[in-house]
Structure 1
Amino acid sequence: MSNEDITLTAGDAEVTVTPGNGGRVGSLKVGGVELLRQGEKFGCFPMTPWCGRIRDGRFLDGATVRQMPLNSPPHAIHGTARDGAWRTARADGREAVITYDLVAPWPHPGRVTQAFTLTEDAFTLTMSVETHDSSFPAQIGWHPWFNRTLEGEGVQVGFTPAWQEERGADHLPTGRRVDPLPSPWDDCFGMPDGVDVTLTWPGRLELKVASREEWVVVYDEQEAAVCVEPQTGPPNGLNTHPRLVTPIEPLEASMTWSWRRL
């Protein structure tokens, strides 16, 4: 097993997975056109064992208060798995599986597995968090950075969420649900029938982000890229919507990007 880059190809689609750089997808090209923002911190990275921000970096783990490093002061953000080197379990042209073992500062042993499948017009990512030891709360999500422009007009983001999580001054949900507000966004939305967001680069490409999960964060405050982030709970969800990983029940989620030429 190694953590060298993995290239997947199907038709004129090509994906690069970078296990050694946080288990992220470093590149997605369709017809030779790069869809993801390039750079060591960009591409599409996994968010686990939590998504978005944890208030003050603290969460309740049973009766114990845990403190995570404040990597986005005053909060902790986006989990720990994106900071480590993952290992390749297998890779065979159109599919790959990589794994990451949770380590300090996360207080519990556990294993994260990501599987990737590429076809000529779709890319599916699946992630699971499992434990053979003590149970713990966790979240799963992905944070893709899609290029705002593909040599033309800027991307259009289309979706019809049921609600928006009201965002407080500290950037965290207040617990109130409000009617969706217009862009710009760094916000969490509820889509109880599953995440369904369409990115349209006029005259070039339409890409749909789909997941059975009901939460999606949309971030479009940067000039270079737009982020559409399906996840298993809202920001600060380890405190407000904890999902328990147990020795008999892992936490699993998946996301599919499908595209067509315009």
Structure 2
Amino acid sequence: MTAGDAEVVVRPGHGGRLASLKVAGHELLRQGERYGSFPMVPWCGRVRDGVFRTGDREHRLPLNSPPHAIHGTGRDTAWKPARVTDREAVFTYDLADPWPYPGRVTQSVEVTDTALTLRMGVEAWDDSFPAQAGWHPWFNRRLSEDGEPVRIAFDAAWQELRGEDHLPTGSRVAPTPGPWDDCFGMPDGVHVTLTWPGQLELTVASREQWVVVFDEPEAAVCVEPQTGPPNGLNTEPRLVTPLEPLEAATTWTWRRL
């Protein structure tokens, strides 16, 4: 898809992920099979020991990041194109094993001259269930070999205190300096600015109040808006019912510097 000097490549058969986002010739996303930007659904981040509960029922998920389950099933699934135009594309996939509840996930990608908007909806067909939705972009730390590294700016109300297992402990603290692999709370909505000095500024925004910032890798940084914190299926469950889907959206807006 193209709009102005922006180019977007989506790979529905490879987890419905954005494989590329170029603005003014600069590739913003780290390249590689596990990178780009992928949807996290029907959960975000880690689920402790791969176990979540609904009422008195216990469900076990595959431990794809032992000892935890991580980032949902959407990134490992082939999505089906439902509608594709030059500036918008819509994809779906049906929830199935190892997720224990039937339903459908819909993701849309829309690009304009100055922004990219991602939307996701999770529908329940029969039983209600807890779920999460979000996105995991890998932004390049540098946009060119001689470019300065990206600067990350945000004003969070709190930081989820992280334990040695990388999961929130249940305590909240004042935001600490990076590097981070941490979840932050923004009650008025996610708003994080990434600046590549002299090249580009990009703002990641969402009406959701949770964002994970991961900037420990040398080559990339991640800013992940999502509907709940890691292990949120157990600690901050958002219920999806046949009448009330879970809906999430994020918009990335850019400008040249």
SS in 2 for 1:153: coil
1:223 is matched with which residue: 213, 218, 226? 218
SS in 2 for 1:249: coil
List structure 1 runs of 4+ shifted beyond 3 angstroms. none
1:55 is matched with which residue: 48, 54, 74? 48
1:232 equivalent in alignment to 2:188: no
SS in 2 for 1:192: coil
- Could you tell me which runs of 5 or more consecutive residues in structure 2 were left unpaired when the two chains were aligned: none
Partner of 2:29 in structure 1?
36
1:99 is matched with which residue: 71, 89, 92? 92
Partner of 1:84 in structure 2?
77
- Could you tell me which runs of 5 or more consecutive residues in structure 1 were left unpaired when the two chains were aligned: 1-7
Partner of 1:180 in structure 2?
175
CA shift digits 1:46-78 (9 cap, x unpaired):
001100000000001222010001000010000
RMSD: 0.5
1:126 equivalent in alignment to 2:119: yes
1:158 is matched with which residue: 144, 148, 153? 153
Which aligned pairs between 1:54-73 and structure 2 lie closer than 5 A? 54-73=47-66
Instruction: Find the aligned partners of 1:32 and 1:254 in 2 and give their Cα distance.
Output: 26
The amino acid that maps onto 1:67 is R
Instruction: Find the aligned partners of 2:143 and 2:16 in 1 and give their Cα distance.
Output: 25
The amino acid that maps onto 1:119 is T
The amino acid that maps onto 2:250 is M
Partner of 2:104 in structure 1?
111
1:143 equivalent in alignment to 2:131: no
Partner of 2:199 in structure 1?
204
CA shift digits 1:90-147 (9 cap, x unpaired):
0010011000111100001110000111000000000000012111100001000000
Instruction: Find the aligned partners of 2:54 and 2:96 in 1 and give their Cα distance.
Output: 16
Instruction: Find the aligned partners of 2:52 and 2:125 in 1 and give their Cα distance.
Output: 22
1:9 equivalent in alignment to 2:2: yes
1:46 is matched with which residue: 31, 39, 44? 39
Partner of 1:3 in structure 2?
none
SS in 1 for 2:13: coil
TM-aligned CA deviation for residue 34 of structure 1: 0.5
Instruction: Find the aligned partners of 1:90 and 1:26 in 2 and give their Cα distance.
Output: 18
What is the identity percentage for the equivalent residue pairs of Structure 1 and Structure 2?
A: 72
The amino acid that maps onto 2:166 is H
The amino acid that maps onto 2:255 is R
Partner of 2:14 in structure 1?
21
Q: TM-score, normalised by structure 2?
A: 0.99
Partner of 1:256 in structure 2?
251
Q: How many residue pairs get matched?
A: 255
Q: TM-score, normalised by structure 1?
A: 0.97
SS in 2 for 1:137: strand
SS in 2 for 1:129: strand
